[in-house]
Amino acid sequence: MLELGVLVVFVVGAIWLFGALLGGLFKLTFGLFGMLIGGVFGIFGLAIAALVALPILFLVLLPLMLPALCVAALVWLVVRASRPAQPAQTSN
């Protein structure tokens, strides 16, 4: 009778271990799939938030960037005006 009890405990323990390993495998698999899907949706959400927030941010920073933009425009005008005029090309 003792041997039968040990055998039953051994079989139940083996089934329990197999079930735990199978459950862990399912947990790992669904966790990886969830991570991938969540990451894709997270990146998508971040892109949408950036599309909404970046134009507002650029408009807010425009007064700070305006002097530098004016200097860059003045340099561009001076460089463009200092080039010799190129004659218009005609196609033959």
Q: For the segment 36-70, what is each residue's pLDDT rounded down to a tens digit?
A: 999 999 999 999 999 999 999 999 999 999 999 99
Q: Which domain holds residue 60?
A: 1-81
Is 27 inside a domain boundary? Answer: yes
Is 89 inside a domain boundary? Answer: no
Check: pTM over 0.85? Answer yes or no.
no
| DSSP assigned state of 65 | H
Which residue's structure tokens are 């190129």? 86
Which residue's structure tokens are 């003045």? 74
Q: Kindly compute the dihedral angle of the four CA atoms of residues 42, 43, 44, 48, in this order, to the nearest 10 degrees.
A: 100
Query: How many domains does the chain contain in total?
Result: 1
Is 28 inside a domain boundary? Answer: yes
d(CA 73, CA 70): 5
Is 91 inside a domain boundary? Answer: no
Is 87 inside a domain boundary? Answer: no
Q: Is the dihedral of CA 76, 79, 81, 83 positive or negative?
A: negative
